[in-house]
Chains A and B, each alone.
Chain A
Amino acid sequence: MMEQTLSAISQWAIPFLFFLFLAVGWVRKVPVYEAFIQGASEGFQIAVRIIPYMVAMFVAIKVFRVSGAMDILAWICSPVLNLIGAPPEVLPLAVMRPLSGSSALGLASELIHTYGPDSFIGRLASVMQGTTDTTFFVLTVYFGSVGIRRYRHAVPLGLTADLIGLFVSLYICHLFFR
């Protein structure tokens, strides 16, 4: 039941939003074509802006993996990872995710690229990347902007959100993609 609902959402979300945004734009007399072109012109810059992060992460994770260092890390962490059913390949992504969005995107892209977008690891990396946020970055920028030094429970809350996101992603991927 849940599987069918979620895959229907996956199929319908993008066409539905396209239709909704364009139709409402038309009704509200937005010059839709000009607006589209205006927004779309930023796409190239964004893709180019992440190149340094992507190169840094692709290189690091590739060296880490071909050298056998990943196997050592996987061996050390295997008791815990086996227990929760997580492939060790996604461990660096889980660690990187709260620290830097673009770096995590680089790691996720490398996993998707290397293991294939339709492999279990590729799908899990896709969901993990989409479901957690760069907690430390957000907290630093937002609290920093008004001079707050004592963050109180914002840090545990943000990190708990990331942990819940990771575990539920893992659960959903096992349920959905295995």
Chain B
Amino acid sequence: MLNLIWLIMILGGIAAAAFNGRIDLVTESLFSSANEAVNVCLGLIGLMTLWLGILEVAKQAGFIRFLGRLLRPIVARLFPDVPPDHPAMGSIIMNISANILGLGNAATPFGLKAMDELQKLNPHPDTATDAMCTFLAANTSCIVLVPATIVGIRVAAGSANPSEIVGPTMFVTGFTMFTILLLDYCWRNFFRDKYRRRRK
């Protein structure tokens, strides 16, 4: 899929340029945009360094565990099929709190561990359980506190107010996460009986 989109953009672009008589622009923009891309990445170094440094402080201060404790009552309610003291619950909570803090690298091991534990509760090992679907819905729609990379890109591009998108991003991700978890809840309860019957 990625290959196809990339091919369409470049081949379609070159074909359209030939057709429109703009072929001279293609070579020039190939070279200049490659350079621009590297410059943007270099401009990103400062903010990435700063932000990863401060996140490491948060990690060592135990923020993942702290946020996890706050979230536990809510999260436990989202996974009725997982016993509250099952190790899957702990990993799910740690993954979600690491995601909220923007600690992507710390979140992934918890997430894989959570899937592993959820699989132990799965009666049909090749089919996703309700809890797995809920977990991945929460994971992909997770609320974002600070979209640090994009703020860094905006700094590199010389924005007058690089952080002005933080509030809107937080609102949109919060709204999305809430809606998706609600949808998942409805879906689960609506299809539950049908799914069980088919499985038997």
Contacts and interface: CB of A to CB of B under 8 A. Distances in A.
B5 A10 contact: no
Secondary structure at chain B's binding surface: helix, strand, loop or mixed?
Answer: helix
B119 A173 contact: no
A35 B57 contact: yes
A85 interface: no
Interface in A51-89: 51, 54-69, 72
B145 A17 contact: yes
Contact of B60 (A30, A41, A92, A127): A30
A36 to B, nearest CB: 4
B74 interface: no
Interface residues of B, number: 101
B80 interface: no
A44 B13 CA distance: 33
A10 B136 contact: no
A62 B40 CA distance: 15
A160 B52 CA distance: 30
A112 B57 CA distance: 30
A145 B116 contact: yes
Contacts of A54: 37-38, 40-41
Chain A: interface size category: 35 or more
Contact of A150 (B50, B63, B127): B127
Contact of A131 (B56, B62, B159, B169): B169
Contacts of B59: 35, 39
B147 interface: yes
Contact of B26 (A21, A28, A67, A168): A67
B176 A63 contact: no
A149 B62 CA distance: 36
A92 B9 contact: yes
B137 interface: yes
Nearest to B58: A21
Contacts of A134: 140
A51 to B, nearest CB: 5
Interface in B25-74: 25-26, 29-30, 32-34, 36-38, 40-42, 44-46, 48-63, 66
A54 B58 CA distance: 29
Contacts of B167: 5-10, 13
Contacts of A133: 139-142
A163 to B, nearest CB: 9
B66 to A, nearest CB: 8
12 contacts: A43-B45, A43-B49, A59-B37, A66-B22, A108-B153, A112-B157, A126-B169, A130-B172, A150-B126, A152-B133, A160-B180, A165-B173
